[in-house]
Structure formats: C-alpha cells, structure tokens
Amino acid sequence: MRSLCLPLLAAALLSGGISAASASPQACAELWTARNEIYKAQGYCFRTQRAIAAFGNAGCQYDNIEDVPLSANDRRAVADIVRQERNLRCPR
C-alpha cells in the first residue's frame, strides 16, 4: 500500500531535489509518510499515536523496528529518507 507520491519523492531524493532551503512541513510530512509506509508494508507495529492513526496496527508482526525484515532496497530507501529528514531538520 505505497503512496502514489512515493515514486516522485524517491526521484527527488535521488536527484537531491529537496534541499534545506526548500524545506517545508509538507516535505517533512511526505518523508515521514514514505519512511513509515515501508515499515507498515513489512509488518511493523507502530507505537506513536500519529503513526497508529495514519497506518493502524492491523496485521502487524514486529514490535521492534530492528526485527522488521527489510530488503536491501527498502533499507537503502529508509536510509536515504532518514538522511533527507536530518538534512531538512525535520522533527522526529
């Protein structure tokens, strides 16, 4: 259940299209959503009210984020998103 904006976001990340100068709450929200969609698709059980409200926990299998079985591509995508969130100084 990946967002339709995820491919566009991934392209922006890879091209460096999102910069600190253009940081906005919307950019941070899109990054947060893209990162958590990856975890949701692999069965992570969210803990925060924000994430539970956005994704729910139905069918979740992993309470510890380190236990979530991510593919190499998903790991790279999450690392790229986290790096971009840090660069933009997005709230955690």
Instruction: Name the CA radius of gyration of the chain, rounded.
Output: 13
Contacts of 60 (CB under 8 A, 6+ apart): 43, 44, 45, 46
The 8-class DSSP code of residue 22 comes to G
**Domain-wise residue ranges, the chain:** 24-87
CB atoms within 10 A of CB 62: 14
CB atoms within 10 A of CB 22: 10
Across all residues in the chain, what is the average pLDDT?
85
Whole-prediction pTM: 0.76
Encode pLDDT of 19-30 as tens digits.
Answer: 544 568 999 999
Encode pLDDT of 77-91 as tens digits.
Answer: 999 999 999 999 998
Is pLDDT of 1 > 50? Answer: no
Q: Give the model's pLDDT for residue 61.
A: 98
